[in-house]
Chains A and B, each alone.
Chain A
Amino acid sequence: MLCEICNERPASVIFTQETMQGSSERHMCERCAFQSKMFHFDPNQEPLSIQQFLSNWLGGPEPFQSQQQTKEPLAEGPECPECGLTFRKFLDIGKFGCSTCYDTFRERLPRLFGKLHNGHSSHNGKVPVSFNELFAVKKRIEEIRLKMQDAIEEERFEEAASLRDEANELKRLLTDGGGDANVN
């Protein structure tokens, strides 16, 4: 097969271009291919917007993989039960709709925060006093739980039982007397 452009040299390069209308193939010789504009980005094509970039980057498949994949609609991702925002939509608008969104997208957020905050993805600053107390109680329960395990392993069952009662008492404080607060 001869080169489409010069019709002189044999075609040794095949360009496949994917467009909305479908794919087209062009066969060229090396020299014509080198001079061809197809090596460059089409200046008339819209530049990649930041949101698109973010979506590709953080949401969907890798952006520079074969183009067939990006043609498929990206998965919507989890949907927030509180405000109805999907992860896909969140990436589009760049804003959370409510504090429950953070829970809904929790697993995907560290990566995103890392990009936005110089590699950091967890909070290190001020903590409201009410949460501080909560933290203290949670930490205390964790300590008791460890002691309890030790006691059980060393067959000090009486001590383990009293530790369990202590932990349950604290748990009740946390959950305001909720039913599933047993420490086992």
Chain B
Amino acid sequence: MSIDNFMKHAVTGWMSSHGEHSDIVMSTRIRLARNLRGRRFPIAFSPEEAKDVDHLITEALLNSEENGYSYMKVSELPILERQVLVEKHLISPQLTDPERHGAVVLSEDETLSIMVNEEDHIRIQCIYPGFQLDGAYEKADLVDDYLEKKLPYAFDEQFGYLTSCPSNTGTGMRASVMMHLPTLTMTKQINRIIPAISRLGFVVRGSYGEGSEALGNIYQVSNQTTLGKTEKEILSELKNITLRLIAHERRSRELLMSKSRIALENRLFRSLGTITYARLLPSEEAARCLSDVRLGIDMDIIQDIDMIILNELMVFMQPGFLQQYAGTELTAEERDIFRAKLFRERLEVGHKRLKEEETGE
């Protein structure tokens, strides 16, 4: 597949580098968990109930005013495509199990995805680029308002929205921001910050989900508590925490720049060299170098590279995408070769475009 053609299919809404504080907050995600009354949760339901639930939900969504929704049954997707959807964060890894009778409804720009029969009957998810908690919530909330008119929700006066996992009961809302915090990581300040945040009822973890270390210095901050607080309260608390993290990160950047400019520049440019010329690029190294180059662009040390390329590469470097790009299954070593190739080609395309713009159309 040619790089241009591949890009056309691979780029998704949240990868654009728009949105407030998009240099540090890469994306914002809101997830609402809902279930239908009178039907057992996916952990306990029969295949017939599963199909029934799928039918009810997708019927309601596809008949809505909103056009451009597309529907995909997970069991009918090739394994590679399922993996790509996971890597784009449009579906969760759990949904890929074909036994679950899972399905997903996607909006045209893919910022909205509604998962059917994941852990709960309905998972409404909205991902926006940059720091847009309110915007993303409003969008998810609209879909929720629409669905509650069409479908009988499992709701309880005392416990709120009833979910399969007790950690989601109440608002059923998980709000999260994905943040790039390279200098807080370099200076090890993050190790002090994480426990402090967890005391506030929020969690910080590596971007690839629970238990993963922060590959590429990317962290996900999200609320742990869903009961007892309103959605607005949770959002505003997360907003405050995020703003403070942003301020911390900016201060560390300035400090590092004033104290060890040459060492920092050396590191960032070496990483740029690696992603531009490497012939073998293992994923840890790729993630580390992308983080460095991103920092370089943010701090105006590295010019002539569009940030969107970095956002894309961060997603494309994952196994599913690489294999789609290659058009075939790849062994681990072949993936490292293809990753290096993809990086070189993408950076070259970006460079050419930039040059064309400079020389004038």
Q: Is A97's CB under 8 angstroms from B156's CB?
A: no
| Chain B nearest Cβ from A73, distance in angstroms | 23
List residues of chain A with CB within 8 A of the CB of B144: 126
Is B18's beta carbon under 8 Å from chain A?
no
Is B71's beta carbon under 8 Å from chain A?
no
List residues of chain B with CB within 8 A of the CB of A83: 40-41, 44
| Chain B nearest Cβ from A32, distance in angstroms | 41
Q: Is B162's CB under 8 angstroms from A99's CB?
A: yes
Is B176's beta carbon under 8 Å from chain A?
no
Bound: A118/B226 CA distance, A: 10
Q: Which one of A96, A102, A106, A126 lies within 8 Å of B171 (CB-CB)?
A: A126
Is A82's beta carbon under 8 Å from chain B?
yes
Bound: A93/B165 CA distance, A: 10
Q: At the interface, is chain A mostly helix, strand, loop or mixed?
A: loop
| Chain A nearest Cβ from B33, distance in angstroms | 12
Q: Is B166's CB under 8 angstroms from A113's CB?
A: yes
B34 to chain A: closest residue by CB: A128
Chain A residues 81 to 111 lying within 8 A of chain B, measured CB to CB, are 82-85, 93-99, 102, 106, 109
Q: Please indicate which of the listed interface residues A93, A112, A113 has the most CB atoms of chain B within 10 Å of its own CB.
A: A113
Query: Which of A129-137, A140-148, A168-176 participates in binding chain B?
Result: A129-137
Q: Given A99-B162, A125-B160, A126-B171, A117 and B155 touching (CB < 8 A)?
A: no
List residues of chain A with CB within 8 A of the CB of B161: 123, 126
Q: Is B40's CB under 8 angstroms from A130's CB?
A: no
List residues of chain B with CB within 8 A of the CB of A116: 166-167, 227
CB-CB contacts of B144-182 with A at 8 A, as 1s and 0s? 110011000111111111111111011101000000000
Is A16's beta carbon under 8 Å from chain B?
no
List residues of chain B with CB within 8 A of the CB of A94: 165-166
Query: Which of B228-236, B244-252, B316-324, B338-346 participates in binding chain A?
Result: B228-236
| Chain B nearest Cβ from A86, distance in angstroms | 13
List residues of chain B with CB within 8 A of the CB of A98: 39-41, 44
B229 to chain A: closest residue by CB: A124
Q: Given A98-B41, A99-B37, A125-B160, A117 and B148 touching (CB < 8 A)?
A: no
Number of interface residues of B (CB under 8 A): 42
B162 to chain A: closest residue by CB: A99
Q: Given A124-B229, A125-B230, A130 and B44 touching (CB < 8 A)?
A: no
Q: Given A83-B40, A85-B44, A117 and B162 touching (CB < 8 A)?
A: no
Q: Is B148's CB under 8 angstroms from A128's CB?
A: yes
Bound: A113/B226 CA distance, A: 10
Q: Is A121's CB under 8 angstroms from B148's CB?
A: no
B200 to chain A: closest residue by CB: A118
Q: Which one of A84, A117, A129 lies within 8 Å of B227 (CB-CB)?
A: A117
| Chain B nearest Cβ from A94, distance in angstroms | 7
Chain A interface residue bracket vs B: 20 to 34
Q: Is B171's CB under 8 angstroms from A125's CB?
A: yes
Is A122's beta carbon under 8 Å from chain B?
yes
Q: Is B227's CB under 8 angstroms from A96's CB?
A: no
List residues of chain A with CB within 8 A of the CB of B166: 94-96, 109, 112-113, 116
Q: Is B170's CB under 8 angstroms from A97's CB?
A: no
Chain A residues 49 to 94 lying within 8 A of chain B, measured CB to CB, are 82-85, 93-94
Is B201's beta carbon under 8 Å from chain A?
yes
B-to-A contact residues, CB < 8 Å: 35, 37-41, 43-44, 119, 141, 144-145, 148-149, 153-167, 169-171, 173, 201, 224-231
A-to-B contact residues, CB < 8 Å: 82-85, 93-99, 102, 106, 109, 112-113, 116-131, 135
Q: Can you spell out 30 A-B residue pairs with CB atoms less than 8 angstroms apart?
A: A83-B40, A83-B41, A95-B43, A98-B44, A99-B37, A99-B38, A99-B41, A99-B156, A112-B166, A113-B169, A116-B166, A117-B225, A117-B228, A118-B201, A120-B170, A120-B227, A123-B160, A123-B171, A124-B160, A124-B170, A124-B228, A124-B229, A125-B230, A125-B231, A126-B141, A126-B171, A126-B231, A128-B155, A129-B149, A130-B149
